């Protein structure tokens, strides 16, 4: 299984079109754990993001913004037409792209005919709003996202994070095993052996690539899987067993350390958010 397929298989990718039309004032985009795809149909604008040099946009493009990248779009012409899509990988699930890219990437449509075709389909579907509109937008947005990620990988724009790890020949088999078997008794020595590296070389290499230590990565992944089981109605005790903890107290300690809530408290918060 390749890196992008693995990402979309293990995480529930979700999109939402929250703006389409003429942008007449500066828009701020900084919602936690959300990424953005801004489709610039026409017009001119300035994109300001974090500590990077502002981007002057004067032609149709897709602006790809990963999670955690505070940015704004400032109109420079009266005809700036934008369609804005936010995306995540599940309610209260850490965006796996958050550490892979810390700046906005423009993909110009006149240089990519296939990408231009997809964006035109999105514009047409959004304007027509026919039967099946929401499902069509979800699938078209997912396909657009796949093409954007392909571009980033092909041009070495993802230097760290999950996608980069899944394209690394030493880490990819290990990461897939961790994802498929969170219940295994994972230790650093075991992971180093699977990566065909010595422990001394493996630990700094893993941390450089993934931005967290090996055991922290395992703990983070176990929490994400545990959240999935809790949402499906599994008890805390059975959930703990499914993600590699001998008893629910161990899972509770990890939840409190990572999220500041017990599993039951987290589940109550999630259920409350669904009712809003």
What pLDDT digit, counting tens, does each position of 8-32 carry?
A: 887 778 888 888 888 877 777 767 6
| Eight-class DSSP state of 14 | E
Q: Is residue 11 located within the same domain as residue 116?
A: yes
What's residue 32's pLDDT? 67
Count of all residues that appear for the chain in the document: 276
- 182 — pLDDT class (breaks 50, 70, 90): very high
What's residue 152's pLDDT? 84
Mean pLDDT score across all residues of the chain: 87
Q: Total structural domains in the chain?
A: 2
Q: What is the pLDDT of residues 214-262, one digit of tens each?
A: 999 999 889 988 988 998 899 999 999 999 998 899 999 999 998 899 9
What's residue 44's pLDDT? 95
Q: Is residue 263 located within the same domain as residue 236?
A: yes
Q: How far is CA 57 from CA 36, 62, 82, 108, in A?
A: 16, 10, 12, 9
Q: Is residue 20 located within the same domain as residue 132?
A: yes
C-beta of residue 83 within 8 angstroms of C-beta of residue 126: yes
Q: Is residue 133 located within the same domain as residue 28?
A: yes
**Paired residues of 15 in beta bridges:** 87
Q: How far apart are CA 135 and CA 126, in angstroms?
A: 11
Q: Is residue 179 located within the same domain as residue 256?
A: yes
What's residue 274's pLDDT? 72
Q: Give this prediction's pTM.
A: 0.79
- 99 — pLDDT class (breaks 50, 70, 90): low
Quote the domain boundaries for residue 258.
168-274
* Percentage above 70 pLDDT, the chain: 92
Q: What is the pLDDT of residues 31-54, one digit of tens each?
A: 767 889 999 999 999 999 877 889
What's residue 4's pLDDT? 80
At residue 100, does pLDDT exceed 60? no
What's residue 244's pLDDT? 95
Q: Is residue 255 located within the same domain as residue 195?
A: yes
* Average pLDDT of the residues in 183-197: 96
Q: How far apart are CA 1 and CA 248, in angstroms?
A: 32
What's residue 163's pLDDT? 77
Q: Is residue 39 located within the same domain as residue 77?
A: yes
* Average pLDDT of the residues in 197-208: 95
Q: Let me know if residue 161 belongs to a domain.
A: no
The CB-based long-range contact list for 237-245 (8 Å cut-off, 24+ gap) reads: 239/263, 241/183, 242/182, 242/183, 243/182, 243/183, 244/182, 244/183, 244/184, 244/185, 244/186, 244/218
């Amino acid at each position: 299984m390749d890196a992008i397929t693995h990402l979309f298989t293990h995480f529930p990718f979700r999109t939402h079109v929250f703006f389409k039309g003429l942008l007449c004032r500066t828009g701020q985009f900084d919602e936690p754990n959300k990424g953005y795809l801004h489709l610039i149909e026409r017009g001119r604008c300035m994109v300001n993001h974090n500590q990077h040099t502002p981007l002057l946009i004067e032609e149709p493009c897709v602006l790809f913004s990963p999670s955690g990248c505070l940015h704004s779009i400032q109109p420079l012409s009266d005809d700036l037409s934008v369609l804005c899509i936010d995306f995540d990988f599940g309610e209260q699930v850490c965006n796996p792209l958050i550490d892979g890219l810390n700046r906005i990437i423009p993909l110009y449509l006149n240089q990519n005919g296939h990408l231009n075709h997809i964006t035109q389909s999105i514009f047409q579907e959004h304007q027509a709003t026919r039967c099946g509109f929401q499902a069509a937008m979800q699938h078209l947005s997912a396909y657009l996202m796949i093409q954007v990620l392909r571009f980033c990988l092909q041009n070495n724009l993802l230097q760290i994070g999950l996608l980069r790890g899944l394209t690394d020949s030493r880490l990819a088999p290990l990461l897939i095993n961790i994802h498929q078997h969170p219940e295994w008794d994972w230790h650093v020595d075991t992971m180093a052996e699977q990566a065909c590296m010595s422990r001394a070389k493996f630990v700094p290499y893993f941390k450089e690539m993934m931005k967290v230590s090996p055991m922290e990565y395992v703990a983070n992944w176990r929490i994400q899987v545990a959240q999935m089981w809790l949402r499906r109605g599994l008890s805390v005790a059975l959930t703990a067993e499914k993600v590699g903890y001998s008893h629910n107290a161990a899972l509770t300690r990890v939840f409190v350390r990572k999220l500041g809530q017990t599993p039951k408290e987290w589940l109550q918060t999630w259920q409350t958010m669904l009712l809003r």
